[in-house]
Structure 1
Amino acid sequence: MTITSFFKKLLIKNKFLFFTLITTSAFASLDGIISPYIIGKITNTLSQKNFNDIPRILILYLVLMLFLNISFYLWQFCWGKIIKSSNQFLRSRAFNTFTYSPSESKMANTLNFINVNVKQIENQCIDSVITLIYCIDQTIVSLIYILNINGIAALVFLFCGLLPAAVPRLTRNWIQDGTKSWNQSYEIYNLKISDAVHGFNTIRHANAYTRLKLFIKNALLMEERKYFFMNFRRNTSNFFAQVSYTFSMVISLAVGSFFVVKGQILVGGLISLFLASDRLTSPIISIVNITNQLNSVRPLLENTVLQKPEPRKYDNLSFVNLSDKKRLSLIIVLLDIIIMLY
């Protein structure tokens, strides 16, 4: 079973539930623009000294936040119902497949799937897809909002916001190589320590304790050296990401300030743009990460316990490969059953 076929079956059984989930997810994604909009509105109102408008803006903010909270509540309710339906489908499918042709060899795999794999599918597949829907909704809503403020400035903020995310992607292989190198050195060190402990008496009788200490010390130094460079690579990647984030924010604010000086954006609009741009770039980064994570759940859904068994064919009317004596015995048994029933 593929991820697509799994969600197709789940969607057919829960059409209205998925429709409600997508709708409430779209409403909940307004979280990305409500606060930036209200903060920008209050800033412009205060700068223009229209103090009488502040209560009206605060009441609007209260209404919007209550609407947002209700949307989140309904969204999480639909989320829980979909998880319930998914778990019921997977566990029932696995159990029915086992009962169709039970065997000792299938028992452990079926129980492991029901008790462990179903929860992994819930966390890595169902939760990821629902979060993916929310991130897509938030990206669309936030993009429309910041483009409405100023198209050019919005694109600059978007580009600068995505720039720091490119650093981990560029350094991913470099970091993975460092992690693999440390894992190999750790396995070598762990193996040498294990051999030394189990064979200590033999080593002591052979008077090779000094050589053993030097041998273990070199392995430990190598393992710790690899561990240091593994963390060094991670910290270096984080350092460049932070530096790029700093430069991107300075560039974004410089461009936004330029448009404020030119009178094309109000100060409140610049603040709204700055806050909303973060709600745009974060979902985009999350979408990439979730898409990669969904690939890891594929082997779980391809488990043999979910394979739909072929229907058995029975022929109760013909006596195939039976001798005359056996046919006569079967007929007598059937007659006895009929007599007992009547």
Structure 2
Amino acid sequence: MAEFEFSDANGEVFTKLPGTVNGESVVLKNLTECSVYLLDYSGEVEVSNVVNSQIFIGPVDGPAIFDNVRDCQISVASQQFQVRNSTATEFGLYCATKPTIEHSRDLRFTCWMGAYPGLTEHFHKANLDPKVNQWDKVHDVSPEEGEGPNFDLLDAIEYWEVPIEGGPPPDNPVPAGDGSPYSAPAAAPAPAQPAAAPTAAAEDLFTENGGDFRGPAENGHSGPADFGGEHPKVAAVRASARERLLKQESEEAKAKDSLVKNAASYLENFYQKRNSVTGKRSQENRSAEKQVTVAGPEGDTEWEKTISLINFGFARPNGTDLSRFKGALFAAKARNVAVSVKPPVSAPTKA
């Protein structure tokens, strides 16, 4: 297995401690019921064909791409985030840009709630601004027409804290979804390193345990399976979020319908006015043309004939002042200024 690739495994735990990745790219693929902890900053992370696993990914100075992920709990912080062909997965997300999903369904997003020793320094090294988190600006590239949303936005319940044996307490520079800062937990007996923890002890991202590595018996239950596969708090938050989304969709549909009706009414009035003005103008033009055709120009001089063809009583629609033009015509008529019509210049003939 390559140093920065975890693949083709079932029921295993993989850990990269601070200082062991240092901006390199990481690949996770073909994993089932595994736990992965990348407690360092990286340049790019690709995750594909992963099922029923827990994945904690520290700051990524580049894209985090997920393809064909199912029934997982994932915490990730990255510059760009994309997930496709995935289902039934929870993301605790920090993203510097708008996240995108494609051909996926039943995804759940919360604000980044991860913490481990040295995380603040890794955010800096990955060029991530902790205050600029667009985790809730999810764009669905391929929504199904007529179906409900393919994702939910949830309020995070607990932090996923990953302590390291012998290290300082966990830290996290990213404000929670409500804007509150992270505060380190009170001192407790030193836990084992994540790599030493069995897979079954890796708690759900949204459980009461919050992702520390105490045994499940200390919580009084053995994990999400005790609640029918989902924590009651998550179910309540999910229901509340879905209700908000449905209400928002209903309001947006009403606003859209109103805009369409107003636009149609405006266009109808516009075309009625335009047709009325156009018809009136055409009628006036036909009348003037008929008068000119029947009567013809009058007068003995060119100027008299020209002036006889002009309707000086016609009011311009835009109020253009033609008084100076009229004055010039009448002055030319009075003086009978000669009208010079030059014959067309013929092309020189060749000798």
Normalised by the length of structure 2, the TM-score is: 0.23
Higher helix share: 1
If you compute each CA radius of gyration, which structure gives the higher value, 1 or 2?
2
Higher strand share: 2
